[in-house]
Amino acid sequence: MKTMCKNLITGFLLIGCWIAFGQQSQQNGATNTVPAAAAPAKQLTPEEIQVKIKELRADAEKGNPKAQNYLGDLYFSGRHVPKDLGEGIKWYQKSAEKGDAFGQFNLAVAFENGEGVTTNITTALKWYAKSARQGFPLAQYNLGLLYIKGGKVRKNSSKGAELIQKAAWQNDRLAQVAIASLYLHGTGLKTNAVEACAWLGVVAKNEGFKNDQRVQYNYNEIQRSLNPEQQAEANRKTEALIADIAKRIQKPVK
């Protein structure tokens, strides 16, 4: 994404900029997608892989929704099987219809992107909503982002902020950056720079982002915009958020 982000206060966290923060996007500008199925922990021979795929297919054909979703992943990525988006959609659809939140999310992404199916935002919204209602954070984030941005759907900033916040509470990093943006710019939430700093602090203090210069730079920028009392308050809020999130993710909030 070719988005030129300046400093935090003048525009880095404007709506749209957080997409560039690490979101895996398709060329047509779709929202969150999920990486292809992870490789097995142990190195398998090609013959062993094919045995595993045969077992996976058998489970999928018996109606196991998780196996159906995983098989859909393989066909979408072309990993260990010939890439076939239509076949991937077939298995995502089966998984989604059986109520698997991951399968519903993947099907929604496909309909939003127009991959393997004709683009259909109404259908994408339906499956995002079903997945989001089960508490799946990626679906909550994507659906929230669609409402925040508008265009594809009728804009509803407050509804979008509510969905994104649910994902943020489940430790979704993109959602946490987005919440900081929403607080900073008063989009769907009341403008509050301290809350913005607190949420961005959750990301900045995460081990996986301590070396991310973009995160650290923007966190430092917003901290510098606060007075010492506000900085202290934001730091306290960050620590409280980190502790609260750790408790919540043990039992995801729907």
Same-domain check for residues 103 and 203: no
Q: Give start and end residues of each alpha helix (H) in the chain.
A: 46-61, 65-77, 85-97, 101-113, 121-133, 137-149, 157-169, 173-185, 193-204, 213-224, 228-248
Same-domain check for residues 113 and 143: no
Express each pLDDT in 84-108 by its tens digit: 999 999 999 999 999 999 999 999 9
**CATH number of the domain enclosing 247:** 1.25.40.10
For residue 38, what are the contacts with CB-CB under 8 A and spacing of at least 6? none
Q: Which domain holds residue 219?
A: 135-254
Express each pLDDT in 136-177 by its tens digit: 999 999 999 999 999 989 999 999 999 999 999 999 999 999
Same-domain check for residues 104 and 199: no
**Do the domain assignments include residue 78?**
yes
Same-domain check for residues 115 and 86: yes
Same-domain check for residues 164 and 210: yes
Same-domain check for residues 236 and 145: yes
**Do the domain assignments include residue 7?**
no
Total count of domains within the chain:
2
Same-domain check for residues 81 and 188: no
Same-domain check for residues 148 and 252: yes
Same-domain check for residues 126 and 149: no
| Ranges of the chain with pLDDT below 50 | 1-30, 38-40, 252-254
